[in-house]
Amino acid sequence: MNQIYNFDEHTPPRLTERMLRDELERRTLRRQTRLLRIASLLVSLCFLLCGILLLPDYPALAIACLAFVLFSLIGNGIISFVFYKSGTVPE
């Protein structure tokens, strides 16, 4: 593994408990964000499948399901774009 610090010439940065807790919080937020993205995608896929399956018998309900999927994906895209441009998206 490559060393990122040369300990012979420089002293390593001081780690504090606060820095370690901040890193742990950042990693937790990243993990929760990923899980939320996956859950949102799965819910959208379920509504899409429901809309496709209901189309022959209940066209109005199927259109409502498909419209929900469309608006949900558009909203998620807009929110993701805004957070990405502001630099607050945990990756």
User: Does a structural domain hold residue 12?
Assistant: no
> Structural domain tally of the chain?
1
User: Does a structural domain hold residue 42?
Assistant: yes
User: Does a structural domain hold residue 5?
Assistant: no
User: Does a structural domain hold residue 6?
Assistant: no
Domain residue limits at 45: 25-86
Q: Write out 2-67 in H/E/C secondary structure.
A: CCCCCCCCCCCCCCCHHHHHHHHHHHHHHHHHHHHHHHHHHHHHHHHHHHHHHCCCCHHHHHHHHH
User: Does a structural domain hold residue 50?
Assistant: yes
Residue 82, pLDDT score: 84
User: Does a structural domain hold residue 4?
Assistant: no
Residue 12, pLDDT score: 66
**2 or 20: which leads in pLDDT:** 20
Q: What is the arithmetic mean of pLDDT over 58-70?
A: 94
> What global pTM score does this model have?
0.68
User: Does a structural domain hold residue 37?
Assistant: yes
pLDDT one-digit tens code per residue, 15-29: 888 988 998 998 998
Per-residue confidence band for 65, with pLDDT thresholds at 50, 70 and 90:
very high
